[in-house]
Amino acid sequence: MKIYHKFLLYQNKWIHPYVRMTVGVMTSITYLASILLIVGVVYEHGFTISEVEAHQLQRLYHGVWIVFLVDVTLRILLEYKDTRRTFSKLTWILTILLYLTLIPVIFHRPEEEGAILQFWEFLHGKAYHLVLLLVFSFFSLSNGLVRLLGRRTNPSLILAASFLIIIMIGTGLLMLPRCTVNGISWVDSLFISTSAVCVTGLTSVDVASTFTPTGFVVIILLIQIGGLGVMTLTSFFAMFFMGNTSLYNQLVVRDMVSSNSLNSLLSTLVYILAFTLVIEGIGMLAIVGRHPRDDGDGPSGRAGLFRLFMPFPLSAMRDSPRCPEIWVIRW
């Protein structure tokens, strides 16, 4: 027993500090890799890139994949007790999906046709890797934001700063070449981004003829983030997938979502997200059923995507004498 106690004392005094330092450094690298991955995806889908740039982006994605593998492996090996306590079942499933990406690296491509070949190609595909890495990146950044909130920062300041940051990011995204047909000024982009995040419903340009489907997706994401709230989304994913939020953070989120108690906080967040998605899904199905054809005004056309958020056509707003400069859109 004396040797065992000495080993525990040695472990707590000499090994644990280095373990914490290693995990902390790896966490910082993971944050940086997550940001680089998101920037790379935005650059790939926001600009027309060459083959050389596409190859460089693939190398970036491969590097981010290695970083996530190393981070998850170190957490499991060095802090297994804490990892087992904080990781939820869904987090373990995502971890297994991440380790499955090693199969195409370890095993060669099967020569025979069949389910094994299709499974290998699926795991080797870019879509599987990219979606999985984006999910891990979002969870990592959400966890970092929740930790920042847990440092007893002013919640009002964080809420205002998060909206300002999302507006600035949305302004830059809407100015990407592949988001607009013929370009847009930064003033119009800032106006539309602010209107979308604040769920105001104003726009200074004709949305249907100015933006491409990529731009529509950006605007809809800004509306979703602004309507649900940045802290609501990040706290939900941090609590649902990681389960390591502090008591102070739970109190702040409880006040934001008007939950009755801490025990019902997660269920309240799930109810908010589920109710929102269900209502939007019903509206989308109703619009698709009413306008099944792609005639430019249907849901497959440019204006159709926004019919879910508009009570009348864009042409009616454009010709309205009451608003010649600013067209009102009810998101």
**% of the chain surpassing 70 pLDDT:** 66
Confidence bin at 316 (pLDDT 50/70/90): very low
Q: Which of the four pLDDT bands, split at 50, 70 and 90, describes residue 248? A: low
Residues 250-299 have pLDDT tens digits of 666 665 555 566 565 666 667 777 887 888 888 888 887 776 554 444 44
Q: Looking up tokens 């995990």, which residue turns up? A: 23
How many other CB atoms sit within 10 Å of the CB of residue 266? 18
Question: Average pLDDT for residues 134-162, to the nearest whole number?
Answer: 73
pLDDT greater than 90 at residue 229:
no
- pLDDT, residue 60, reads 93
Residues 327, 317: contact at Cβ < 8 Å?
A: yes
Cα(163)–Cα(254) distance, rounded to whole angstroms?
Answer: 19
Q: In the predicted model, what is the mean pLDDT of the chain? A: 75
Q: What angle do CA 109, 110, 114 make, to 5 degrees?
A: 130
Domain segments of the chain as ranges: 1-149
